Amino acid sequence: MKKVVKIEGLDCPNCARALEKEINKIESVKEAKIDFVASKLIYESDDENALDEIVELSKKIEPNARILEQKEKQINKKFVLDLSLLLAGIAIGVCVLTISMPIWLYWTLFVVSALLMGYKTYLKAIVLLFRGTINENLLITLSVIGAAAVGQSMESLMVIGLYSIGKILEGLAVDKSRKSIESIVNLRPEFALVLRNGAEERISPQDVKIGETILVKPGERVPIDGRILEGTSMVDLQSLTGESVPVSLKVGDEILSGAIVLDGLVQIETTKKYEDSAVSKILNLIENAQEKKSKTETLISKITKWYTLGVIVCSLLVFGIVYGVVGDLSEAIYRGLIFLVVSCPCAFAISVPLSYFSGIGNASKRGILIKGSNYLDACAKLNVVAFDKTGTLTTGEFEVEKVVCLKDGLSENQLVFLAALGEQNSLHPLAKSILSYNTKKLRKVKNAKEIAGHGVYFEFNKNKYFVGKTENESKNTIVGVYENELKIGEIELKDKIKGTSFDAIKSLNELGVKTVLLSGDNKEIVEEVGKKLNVSTFVSNLLPEDKFEFIQNLKKNNKNLIGYVGDGINDAPSLTLADVGFSMGIGGSPASVEASDIVLVDDNPKKVSSAIKISKFTRKIVWEDIILSAGVKFCFLLLGAIGITGMLSAVFADVGVTVLAILNSIRALKYNPK
């Protein structure tokens, strides 16, 4: 059974990786993975005691790690204790370095100071070394011991003191970013107030059934998607869509879970189960986003596994070369130790995943759910975006303009009734419009079969019927109704362009992204919409397989990275084929949401360009961190090897560049894609 628990107190990605490796050695654990940035431990086990074993192991290897049961007050006490010991160590170290004293007292206080400042670092280095794992803790431990051994006791204490201070600053920066991201997705409802047998019951949202009535009071979050039965209210949708202006909802309007009712009591009829509601989908998408990593993130992760061992080998080479050239053993050891300190991989290992996580968190805050950093990377490189028309660039809410009967004795109401019989089980937007226009009670039909892009076949009263779109030269959509292969009437419907679609295409054109409109409607309709929106290319009369083939042909040009935006079940193949698939979160079918890589919560196509801008900015941050970290470290490695800089400069280089990279990464969380 797969389980997810919160793990806090891990501020070092290499330490997290080492702990993950050891947890995987536990016999009762089939597979374990630590998501460092999201502070989660995901493990698979059939043993109920597995978590107890994991907790005991983590206490030995990572005393700071806290799994599940620890409370915030305990965390604060732990932080205060660690800081107090560090300050005591620094105070004793200052006395050792400034006050004249007997040699035995000098070395006694030196050891006490070094232990107070870094006992956890040394302990982790020893425990992991005996378990076959080498990481940065060993690099720092060797540097402290080595510097003291060659008579550089001041630099020895400065190394561990500055390193420990740096780890605290690093932890605070990471924690700040984590809290910012957690506040974005703090949507999970604690309860639902259900009306049962005239009484109010406070129960878990997971236990509420479809069709039940729930009450939501002013200031509360809506726990489950539904339709308003009674009451009107201004509703805050910012946590879902990123829009700060409240909207007014009335009886009959759809309302999403996660929305906050600002004024007035509302009664809501639930239309979905909790697990299928907007808030549940958002949480699942964000929680699973880190499982799909970008190539850059994966490469950094793979490199850091072998990085520390490589650093030790290179340090020995520096020692050998310096000793061979200058012939001074102490100087050679000292320069080798500088190499160890500068080479700590924290800056790379933390900043890259933190940048991607911040970018994904920023997008989530704006109603753009990116399912993984690999899709964020791909989104930044898109140069073509293809759109479905109905429900994506248009509202998908068709209005019946005209009903034409072609059979003698057949009334308009009867024709609409026959069409509604076939459409009653369809999810197509045209079907919903015809059903809402019908005034007669529907009955069961036989052998109903829907063919995507064509229409619905069925049998009723011993006659065979077909309801589907008809080729025409009108600027409206025509649905034909056939009885025993003879056309008996037509229903003319009109769709409206979304107001946000104009800004969506304009923004993409300004970014230099080519826009394409792919639709199953006739040439006149598609041409009118395409020209109004200023789309680069528009193609009409396409079946789902034709759209798929069109995108396939675009992808044959290796220079094209294709995005596809759609909302229907018939868009699922194209969403899957595209390099990045965008689906509509509210109006989109479950199949399209599942097939897509990015979900636009409020069905706003303008957010495609926002997603691209956030992705581009995040990639820029990632490469800034990589270049900054690599550049600074390379310079100090070179200067240290030739004897220009000392160990204090090396520590400042390591700690400083790590903190700078983390602070730079957090910029991806604050970026506004305007």
> What is the torsion angle, in degrees rounded to the nearest 10, for the CA atoms of residue 192, residue 195, residue 200 and residue 201?
-50
- Model confidence over 400-436: pLDDT tens digits? 888 999 999 899 999 999 999 999 888 777 888 899 8
Contact, 39 vs 7, CB < 8 A? yes
Q: Which DSSP symbol is given to 446?
A: E
Closest CA to 661 of 437, 444, 344, 393: 344
3-state secondary structure of 440: coil
Q: From the CA atom positions of the chain, what is the Rg in Å?
A: 32
CA distance 535 to 386: 10
For residue 509, is it within any domain? no
> What is the torsion angle, in degrees rounded to the nearest 10, for the CA atoms of residue 249, residue 253, residue 257 and residue 263?
20
Closest CA to 394 of 349, 433, 443: 433
Contact, 277 vs 242, CB < 8 A? no
For residue 460, is it within any domain? yes
Q: What is the CATH number of the domain that holds 32?
A: 3.30.70.100
Q: What is the CATH number of the domain that holds 407?
A: 3.40.1110.10
Supply the pLDDT for residue 320. Answer: 87
Beta carbons within 8 Å of 198's beta carbon, 6+ residues apart: none
Closest CA to 187 of 235, 259, 106: 259
For residue 345, is it within any domain? no
> Can you give the residue range of the structural domain that contains 458?
399-494
For residue 53, is it within any domain? yes
Supply the pLDDT for residue 12. Answer: 64
Nearest 5°: the CA angle 39, 44, 48 is 100
Question: In 343-440, which residue ranges form alpha helices assigned H by DSSP?
Answer: 346-365, 373-380, 412-423, 429-437
- Model confidence over 354-378: pLDDT tens digits? 788 888 888 888 888 888 888 888 8
Contact, 385 vs 576, CB < 8 A? no
Closest CA to 160 of 637, 636, 645, 651: 651
Whether residue 253 lies in the annotated active site: no
Supply the pLDDT for residue 13. Answer: 62
Closest CA to 458 of 429, 436, 432, 426: 426
DSSP string, 535-567: -SEEE-S--HHHHHHHHHHHHHSTT--EEEEE-
Domain endpoint, select from 35, 54, 70: 70
What is the tally of structural domains in the chain? Answer: 3
For residue 665, is it within any domain? no
Burial track 149-158 (b if 16+ CB lie within 10 A, e otherwise): ebebbbbbbb
Contact, 89 vs 117, CB < 8 A? yes
For residue 259, is it within any domain? yes
For residue 248, is it within any domain? yes
Supply the pLDDT for residue 72. Answer: 42
Catalytic pick among 388, 597, 602, 625: 388
For residue 585, is it within any domain? no
**Beta-strand relationship, 580-584 and 477-483:** unpaired
Which parts of the chain sit beneath pLDDT 50? 69-75
As to burial, measured by CB atoms within 10 angstroms (0-12 exposed, 13-18 middle, 19+ buried), residue 543 is middle
Nearest 5°: the CA angle 644, 646, 652 is 115
CA distance 337 to 646: 10
Q: How many CB atoms lie within 10 A of CB 162?
A: 21
pTM of the complete model: 0.69
- Model confidence over 57-87: pLDDT tens digits? 887 777 767 775 444 444 456 677 878 888 9
Q: Which DSSP symbol is given to 588?
A: S
Domain endpoint, select from 70, 88, 105: 70
Supply the pLDDT for residue 582. Answer: 92
Domain endpoint, select from 494, 522, 553: 494
CA distance 446 to 453: 21
CA distance 345 to 625: 12
Q: What is the CATH number of the domain that holds 233?
A: 2.70.150.10
Contact, 101 vs 110, CB < 8 A? no
- Model confidence over 447-478: pLDDT tens digits? 998 887 788 999 999 899 999 877 766 667 88
Strand partners, 139: none
Instruction: Output the CA–CA distances (angstroms, integers) from residue 390 to 458, 509, 593, 665, in the order listed.
Output: 25, 21, 16, 39
Supply the pLDDT for residue 626. Answer: 87
3-state secondary structure of 636: helix
> What is the torsion angle, in degrees rounded to the nearest 10, for the CA atoms of residue 449, residue 450, residue 451 and residue 453?
160
